[in-house]
Amino acid sequence: MNTDTIVAVATPAGKGGVAVVRLSGSEALAVAMGHLTASRLQPRKATFCRFTDTAGQLVDEVLATWFPAPHSYTGEEMVEISCHGSPYVQQEVVAELIASGARLAEPGEFTLRAFANGKLDLSQAEAVADLIDSATPAQHRLAVSQLRGGYANELKRLRQQLLDLTSLLELELDFSQEDVEFADRCTMLDTVAQLQSRVQSLLGSFSTGNALKQGVPVAILGRANAGKSTLLNALLGDDRAIVSPIAGTTRDTIEETMTIDGITFRFIDTAGLSQSDDELEALGFARSIKAAQQATILLFVRSVTIPFNAYATDDIAYFTDQCDMSSKHLFIVHNKCDLPHESNPPGHIVSAKEGLGIDSLKASMVAAMRKDASANDGVLLTNLRHRSALQRVQEALLHVAEGLGQQMPTDLVAVDLRDAIYHLGTITGDVTNDELLGNIFSRFCVGK
């Protein structure tokens, strides 16, 4: 990694009240002081001074803060210069610092240096990008939790247990001629089973973590003319979908996003289940099934004007039988309660047309997702790259368990353990390469 001094504007592009220009590298303080009128900067204290060009002409009045290594974001010498937010002033400050020996930073290079200098592991560095991109309280909480190291600490514990197991096996290999066994195989199998359980728990949390990060997919399902599109409009508080008493109005999925109590939901109105032979309706219903399979929450909508009997139960089963319901929530929504209807059917009773019961339904969806988020000790898997790596860890652990159970040679079992350690290391950054780092940090903004 380059160790030269880098510079970039850390605040968003455009005009604003204040802009922050960052410098990092061994010469950061010297480069900055060549343009600041202050005689010295005190560590971590903002100093009011003037920023001048190489000819000594005033560019702006600024606040300069020095962060000595290693007590800085990057772990290197850092200086942050807060100037006025004029695009011209920002460009002049950066240009003068480049003329004095700095170079323009690459996207994510400040955070890359923080990772390289041990200030963050790779999963925490990725959480920085998620924090910058967070648009809702739920996304913010997920990113902050990962940045603070809850998820990283869990991975470190897993890795340490794997290293301890590998060390015992490697020790046996060193004394193979003496036929010494340093660890009871049954004890090791128990440990591997615990590791498998924890990795599976993390993998199982992906559906919740990814849904909270990307928006919780909610499929609105049911028979034609049950009021699904009216419910979508009521949930959104807007006439997004066409509503008609004619059955089969919706022939394709309609998707809209809404944030409720800090959680983003992606509502998907689907084509209704019907007995029609219409080819377009059949295609639309096939997409309804796909939406149900990909959703985290299923809202099954039915009219309360029709008795809730095996007829409705069969309809629900038609959807749920084609889905893995282990990580989904099913809400039965009895619509049209403003009309004469049976009393107290199980589920949520609403009138999408009149807006009755909608707030209660929203609150139930929020509560379900918050309960999921608090499970697994609040440690959630949100990154697709991490899930892929953990799946490979789980495969390696399965081979370890099989090897121990079948009394396979120690060196072969050790190979599978080292494989598990390797894939876990690709998440934390203990194992990495330039291509991986390039892919991760290329999505960062310049100046972070």
Give every residue of the chain whose pLDDT is below 70, as ranges. Answer: 1-2, 172-183, 239-253, 274-282, 284-285, 310-311, 341-342, 376
Find the CATH number of the domain harbouring 351.
Answer: 3.40.50.300
- d(CA 208, CA 296) in angstroms, rounded, equals 8
CA distance 382 to 208: 8
In a domain, residue 283? The reply is yes
Cβ-based neighbour number of residue 421 at 10 Å: 19
Task: Characterise 277 by phi-psi region: left (phi > 0), alpha (psi -120 to 50), beta (else).
Answer: alpha
Residue in 331, 358, 361 with CA at minimum distance from that of residue 346: 331
Question: What CATH number does residue 115 fall under?
Answer: 3.30.1360.120
Same domain, 131 and 150: yes
Is 362 within the bounds of a domain?
yes
The verdict on residue 438 lying in a domain is no
Q: Which helix (H) or strand (E) holds 174?
A: helix 150-174
- Note the pLDDT of residue 247: 47
Do 50 and 151 share a domain, yes or no? no
Judge whether 299 and 174 are in contact, CB under 8 Å: no
CA distances from 167 to 160, 413, 418, 425 (A): 10, 12, 10, 17
Determine the pLDDT at residue 1: 58
The answer on 229 and 368 residing in a single domain is: yes
For residues 303 and 171, membership in a common domain is answered with no
Q: What interhelical angle do 358-374 and 137-147 show, nearest 10?
A: 10
Strand-pair partners of 335: 303
The Cα–Cα gap between 28 and 39 comes to: 16
Cα distances (angstroms) measured from residue 20 to each of 12, 77, 96, 106, 344: 9, 16, 15, 16, 60
- Of 91, 120, 149, which one is at a domain's C-terminal end? 120
- Rounded Cα–Cα distance for residues 226 and 46 (Å): 63
Range of the domain at 161: 127-205+382-429
pLDDT tens readout for residues 220-271? 998 888 888 899 989 988 766 545 454 445 445 688 999 999 899 999 988 7
Q: Which of 99, 120, 141 is the last residue of a domain?
A: 120
Is position 439 within any domain? Answer: no
What integer pLDDT is reported at residue 133 of this predicted model? 84
Residue 361 and residue 251 share a domain: yes
Do 41 and 145 have their domain in common? Answer: no
448 within domain boundaries:
no
165 and 191 in contact (C-beta within 8 Å)? yes
**Do the domain assignments include residue 170?**
yes
Residues 15, 135 within the same domain: no
CA distances, 34 to each of 23, 40, 49, 51, 209 (Å): 13, 11, 12, 9, 48
Residues 292 and 369 in one domain: yes
**Number of compact structural domains in the chain:** 3
**Shared domain check, 314 and 235:** yes
* Domain identity same for 239 and 347: yes
In a domain, 26, yes or no: yes
HSE, side-chain direction, 13 A CA sphere, residue 231? 34
* Whether 222 and 307 share a structural domain: yes
Q: Does one domain contain both 158 and 179?
A: yes
Residue-level pLDDT at 246: 46
369: amino acid identity, one letter: M
